[in-house]
Amino acid sequence: MFLGIDCGTQGTKAIVLDAVSGKVLGEGSGAHHMISGANGRREQDVQEWLDAFEQATEQALKQAGVSGADIQAIGVSGQQHGLVMLDASGQVLRPAKLWCDTESSPENDRLLAYLGGEAGSLERLGIAIAPGYTVSKLLWSKEQFPELFARIDKILLPHDYLNYWLTGRSCSEFGDASGTGYFKVRTREWDLDILQHIDPSGRLVKALPELIEAHQAVGTILPAIAERLGLNPNAIVSSGGGDNMMGAIGTGNIAPGSITMSLGSSGTVYAFADAGNISAQPSVATFCSSSGGWLPLICTMNLTNATSAIRELFTLDIGAFNAAVASSPIGAQGVLMLPFLNGERVPALPHATGSILGLDSTNLTQANLCRAVVEGTTFGLRYGLDLLRDSGVKSDNIRLIGGGAKSAVWRQIVADIMDTPVICTTGTEAAALGAAIQAAWCHAHAEGDGESLQALTERCVSLDPASETRPVAEHVAAYQTVYQHYRTHLQGL
């Protein structure tokens, strides 16, 4: 039995996986709240993560009908790019800044200039740092909270912090580390010079976690935490990783040939690569994977957060919202939405705001606005998928995950806009499943039986044939026209 945890923006999910049968036996969840500001601030109190971790674990074990003593290993997935700062006693210095925080955009611009622009950043780090990456949060923290900054003893990503809470050890693995902006993805090592540039005292360099391989354990769970969670005190904690890296494992995307697309709070599209070929497109982040390769990826900042905003505006439940989307035609009778409520990363428009275009007295309807937000967010993913394909990524199908993937009408819109068949996995929590599978892989290494990650994913990841959705030729043609309309308005921004 293995426990998989996914600490996301909206909450923490837990699953209990029987790695012998490949079945998920139980699931649980706990909610988080966002601290938001009009200046782009998006933060969370990390105590909420710990409380949600405990709640989700208790629910998952209860639903599975197993004892926590049966858990052999724990894997943690976490939202990427966040910053958790600890003092020498291990206390959190201030709320964690999240992936969707754009308050440090000016600091990112200055750091990007220091690196020599996007081209210089790509050459040095293998990625072009963007607003939301961890590195600019460090410079922002130094300038906004110098007294707190002077007390930094550890700088951790969200999943690294949870591993630290579980084991008392400060570690990071290559996949999640790739999204910090102070990591070289080609050589898989920290870039110490950029941290020295931010703080010449060397404090940040000393605060870095130790880098470990994806199949390595961080350590054994601390006795007090094992007792609090009701878990086996001998359970090991795997390296874990970022939610996208764990989502790749949880969809079986660990070899070239598949694309995973997530319809979550943010939108992501990624594929496995066995070589670190850096794209010339700055918007393509060639992260390391958490399975031994690389994970070329694009991320949009607005997806179900935008669709939920429209749904809540009209006080619709999810069923009524989907019905409204289905009742509006392709192109929403000329209504086009640029849904940049959080700015945008792909395309790179960090200061953009949302727009609704093409309204007139005949098309201003609830149904058209509902469809326009779904189409607008999906066009952003199409824009990113085109960048990946231009960079050499090929795939005949898309594995669709995230809350939006549960909607049949949205699956059809994705298939038509991408002109590619889509299919969902049978489970809904791909990142938590990936974390549990990685925990089983790590446990196998520790026990010396050497079961491969591929064998584990083949047994534990299954696709849902009922969800398979193929593009309709006339829809594809109609959407090509609407998508070009979207691209034209992007040029105006």
pLDDT of residue 345: 85
Closest of 309, 288, 286 to residue 298, by C-alpha: 286
Residues 6 or more apart whose CB falls under 8 angstroms from that of 96 comprise 43, 44, 45, 46, 82, 83, 84, 158, 161
Please choose, from the candidates 341, 379, 320, the residue with its C-alpha nearest in 3D space to the C-alpha of residue 36: 341
Q: What does the alpha-carbon distance between residue 206 and residue 151 come to, in Å, rounded to a whole number?
A: 12
> pLDDT (tens digit, 0 to 9) for every residue of the chain, 493 residues total?
999 999 999 999 999 999 999 999 999 999 999 999 988 899 999 999 999 999 999 999 999 999 999 999 999 999 999 999 999 999 999 999 999 898 999 999 999 999 999 999 999 999 999 988 999 999 999 999 999 999 999 999 999 999 999 999 999 999 999 999 999 999 999 999 999 999 999 999 999 999 999 999 999 999 999 999 999 999 999 999 999 999 999 999 998 888 999 998 889 999 999 888 898 889 999 999 999 899 999 999 899 999 999 999 999 999 999 999 999 999 999 999 999 998 888 888 888 999 999 999 999 999 999 999 999 999 999 999 999 999 888 888 899 998 999 999 999 999 999 999 999 999 889 999 999 999 999 999 998 877 899 999 999 999 999 999 999 999 999 999 999 999 999 998 8
Residue 71 falls in which region: left (phi positive, over 0), alpha (psi -120 to 50) or beta:
beta
- Contacting residues for 305 by C-beta, under 8 A, at least 6 apart: 265, 266, 341, 342
Q: Exposed/middle/buried for 474, CB within 10 Å: 0-12, 13-18, 19+?
A: exposed
- Contact, 8 vs 81, CB < 8 A? no
The Cα–Cα gap between 344 and 354 comes to: 10
Beta bridge partners of 285: 297
356/341 Cα distance (integer angstroms): 12
CB count within 10 Å of CB 313 equals 12
Residue 21, C-beta contacts closer than 8 angstroms, at least 6 positions apart: none
Contact predicate 212/172, CB 8 Å: yes
Give the count of beta carbons closer than 10 Å to the beta carbon of residue 54. 18
Predicted pLDDT at 38: 83
Residue 4's nearest CA partner among 440, 461, 444 is 440
For the packed helices 158-167 and 46-64, what is the interaxial angle rounded to 10 degrees? 70
Strands (E), 164-300: 171-173, 183-184, 189-190, 210-212, 217-220, 236-238, 241-242, 259-263, 267-271, 285-288, 294-300
Q: Give the phi and the psi of residue 360 in degrees, each rounded to 5.
A: -145, -175
Long-range (24+ apart) CB contacts under 8 A made by 21-24 are 22/459, 22/460, 22/462, 24/427, 24/429, 24/433, 24/436
Bridge partners of 398, per DSSP, are 259, 422
In 10 A of CB 82, how many CB atoms? 31
The model scores a pTM over 0.85: yes
Taking the C-alpha atoms of residue 244 and residue 96, their distance in angstroms, rounded to an integer, is 19
Q: Which among 5, 487, 41 is positioned nearest to 246, based on CA atoms? A: 5
CA count, 13 A, side-chain hemisphere, 145 = 12
**Residues 178, 159 contacting (CB under 8 angstroms):** no
Which residues fall in the annotated binding site? Answer: 80-81
Torsion of CA 487, 488, 491, 493, to 10 degrees: -90
Q: Which DSSP string corresponds to 112-161?
A: HHHHTHHHHHHHHHSS---TTSHHHHHHHHHHH-HHHHTT--EEE-HHHH
Any catalytic annotation for residue 45?
A: no
CA distance 237 to 281: 36
Domain boundaries, the chain: 2-244
The correct CATH number of 2-244 out of 1.25.40.20, 2.60.40.180, 1.10.620.20, 3.30.420.40 is: 3.30.420.40
Residue ranges for the known binding site for substrate are 80-81
| Catalytic entry in 18, 160, 191, 243 | 243
Type of residue found at 53? F
Other beta carbons within 10 Å of 467: 16
Report the b/e string of 61-81 with b at 16+ CB within 10 A: bebbebebebbbbbbbbbbbb
Query: How many angstroms separate the Cα of 36 from the Cα of each of 39, 136, 199, 385?
Result: 9, 18, 27, 30
